[in-house]
Amino acid sequence: MVDEVEIKALPETRVAYMRFVGAYGSPGVTDLWRRFESWRERQGLTSPPRRLIGIAQDNPNITPPGRTRYDACIEVGSDFLPRDQVGIQTIRGGRYGCAPFKGPAAEIRPAWIRFLTRALPDAGLQPDLAPAIEIYPPDFTVDPRTGSFSCLLCMPLRSA
């Protein structure tokens, strides 16, 4: 569980996003992804499959739980214009420490804590102050029986 850290060079990525404000790990985040999926279907952004990204905009150790912001995102081209309740933002590129996650939504917060407090320091890496991201595969699915899913936890790194 989130012990191996791989350093990846991630490109700058333009995304369309929908935001949830509230505690990370709450059912509101799952509801956000459901609403975002419906919006993607209505906009024709499900085929061909595109990479999905979750962004934790705030540090939950500093920002009160009711004010933390989480964005559900999908990669879009420069010609895409935001519609409905969706905005556009650019995720910065650069060096990221990344670790795979597999499990239900209830286990992702403890996985992030372990990643940030043990795996990164054990690898001699220091996180930068930019937002943490979760990268979901284009064929993202949730096991209906267990609620388990896979993603890549990624934290921007300070320059060496």
Q: Give residue 153's pLDDT.
A: 96
Question: Domain for residue 105, yes or no?
Answer: yes
What would you report as the CA-atom Rg of the chain, rounded to the nearest whole angstrom? 15
In the chain the first and final C-alpha atoms are separated, in Å, by 26
Q: Which token pair is 37? A: 């999926």
Instruction: Indicate the helix (H) or strand (E) that contains 18.
Output: strand 13-21
| Contact present, 127 and 113 (Cβ < 8 Å) | no
Q: Give residue 1's pLDDT.
A: 57
Question: Domain for residue 1, yes or no?
Answer: no
| Count of structural domains within the chain | 1
Question: Domain for residue 107, yes or no?
Answer: yes
| Contact present, 98 and 27 (Cβ < 8 Å) | no
Q: Which token pair is 52? A: 């999905």
Q: Which domain holds residue 74?
A: 6-156
Q: Does the pLDDT value for residue 83 go beyond 90?
A: no
Q: What is the pLDDT of residues 118-148, one digit of tens each?
A: 999 999 999 998 899 999 988 888 899 998 9
- Any idea which residue has 């790990």 for tokens? 25
Could you say which DSSP state residue 67 is in?
A: G
Average per-residue pLDDT for the chain: 91
Q: Which residues contact 11 (CB under 8 A, 6 or more apart)?
A: 93
Question: Domain for residue 73, yes or no?
Answer: yes
Q: Which residues contact 112 (CB under 8 A, 6 or more apart)?
A: 56, 132, 153
Q: Does the pLDDT value for residue 11 go beyond 60?
A: yes
Question: Domain for residue 151, yes or no?
Answer: yes
For residue 81, what is the domain's CATH number?
3.20.80.10
Mean pLDDT of 107-118: 91
Mean pLDDT of 102-111: 90
Q: What is the pLDDT of residues 47-81, one digit of tens each?
A: 888 899 999 999 888 999 899 999 999 999 999 99
Q: Give residue 37's pLDDT.
A: 92
Grade residue 2 by pLDDT with cuts at 50, 70 and 90: low
